[in-house]
Amino acid sequence: MVTFCTMSGTLMTSVSGVRGLVGTDLTPEVVARYAAAFGRIVGAEGGGSVVLARDARTSGRMFAASARAGLQSVGLDVIDCGLVPTPTAQLAVEHHHAAGGIIITASHNPIEWNALKFVGPDGLFLDGETAARLLALAGDGAAVPRVGWDRIGGDARDDAAVDRHLDALLRLPVVDAAQIRARGLTVALDCVRGAGGTVMPLLLGRLGCTVHAMDVETDGRFPRPPEPLPQNLQGLGQLVRRTAADIGIAVDPDVDRLAVVDQRGEPIGEDYTLAFAVRAVLARGAGAVVVNLSTSLVVDDAARAFGVDVARAPVGEANVARAMREAGAVVGGEGNGGVILPALHYGRDAPLAAALVLGLLADAGATVSDLVADQPRYAIVKDKVPRGADMAALYAALERNFPDATVDRQDGLRLAWPDRWLHVRPSGTEPIVRLIAEARTATEARELIAAVRTLLA
């Protein structure tokens, strides 16, 4: 499996796409060049159209125009879904049998960032080899051949993508919509003024929930840091308490991640989203589970209750999705709140995650805090340092320091024990090295992080 990440100033390219600061490294010219290069690559493989979509960021409409021009300039037709969630766009690629898709979104990054995510004809983000070809072609604008006046690509709209997404989701055997409606749940919803406003209120309405929403406007002016981490969900917690909601749910700007707040207004941590989804799916039939290397042990515990072991893949939706496909997994994802259900598609999907979590609540007849209490608790500590260290030397030193650990070098270095783990890896979306540790107590997890920092000093 090929993984990579390169930087030019703040422009970053990886299997996660191309992202940078708006107006400096990421400009309309850059977007058009990458879109044209992508069009050349997928067009050479027999496709005639590319799906285009964006999230709510203020720069999205501008960059969509640039991407459209780039694609048309190499002779590809554009199917424009407009402002929709990332998983909706992935499903649209499959629906239209398109050559691929471009989604303009920087996901959880701060408001000053934007990005292009590239989707293959199978609805998955590009693998490392294809992404490397794209980077090589886009690196020299003159190397992207353009068509003449008589072969410029066409332009069409797809305004039904969200409805198709919800219809497919609610037809899934693992989503018992009637049972959820019968429970009559009250839900507090935070869409952070991203693309979630186009889909989450509709989904919750179709599931018979009473909804108290905040920041569902789709203007892209995030009122808080957009990543749905516990420290960013205090407003949602207040809304839960004020409305006596059964649950609070928050999505990130492109709606591929879901975080949960319990009925007391307390964030439970985004790893529980996947753990709950695993419980909901495996309760209806056992099967393989695949997650990334930085996912909490709460997911292992949830799967183990059904006699299933968890397999691990490198961080990144594309890596996890491909590992799931190879393993024939029935559910999986990433511990950041990203749930993947192959029965729907191989993409992280927050509306799907919401339906599975609400279904688990309805089936158990319990509260969110009851569901959390059913599982062992762990503490995760996350830290980061600037890039610049000799990573190979750092990994070797850590292995010497912890000779009793199980070593995994699929993605950086992961050292694991039965009840704790440490993962050190260069980020694919930011110019940093991520340090993540989990243990039974925060003190033990911090000690693992401290061991890395000592070696970096």
156 and 201 share one domain: no
Strand partners, 434: 384, 425
Query: Does residue 262 sit within a domain?
Result: yes
194 and 244 share one domain: yes
Could you report the per-residue pLDDT of 227-281, keeping only the tens digit for each?
A: 999 999 999 999 999 999 999 999 999 999 999 999 999 999 999 999 999 999 9
% of the chain surpassing 90 pLDDT: 86
The residue assigned the tokens 């693309």 is 195
Query: Does residue 80 sit within a domain?
Result: yes
* CA atoms of 390 and 191, how far apart (whole Å): 39
Torsion-angle region of residue 376: left (phi > 0), alpha (psi -120 to 50) or beta? beta
Say if residue 373's pLDDT is above 90: yes
285 and 408 share one domain: no
* CA atoms of 228 and 188, how far apart (whole Å): 14
* CA atoms of 104 and 106, how far apart (whole Å): 7
Could you report the per-residue pLDDT of 419-450, keeping only the tens digit for each?
A: 999 999 988 667 789 999 999 999 999 999 99
Q: What range does the domain containing 349 cover?
A: 182-373
261 and 400 share one domain: no
99 and 189 share one domain: no
139 and 232 share one domain: no
Query: Does residue 174 sit within a domain?
Result: no
Per DSSP bridges, beta strands 77-83 and 155-157 are parallel
* CA atoms of 426 and 333, how far apart (whole Å): 20
> Of 321, 338, 373, which residue sits at a domain end?
373
Helices H / strands E in the chain, number of each: 15, 21
Catalytic residues: 107
Total domains in the chain come to 3
CATH assignment of the domain containing 128: 3.40.120.10
Tokens for 418, please give them: 């039965």
369 and 390 share one domain: no
Query: Does residue 194 sit within a domain?
Result: yes
* CA atoms of 343 and 330, how far apart (whole Å): 7
Confidence bin at 15 (pLDDT 50/70/90): low
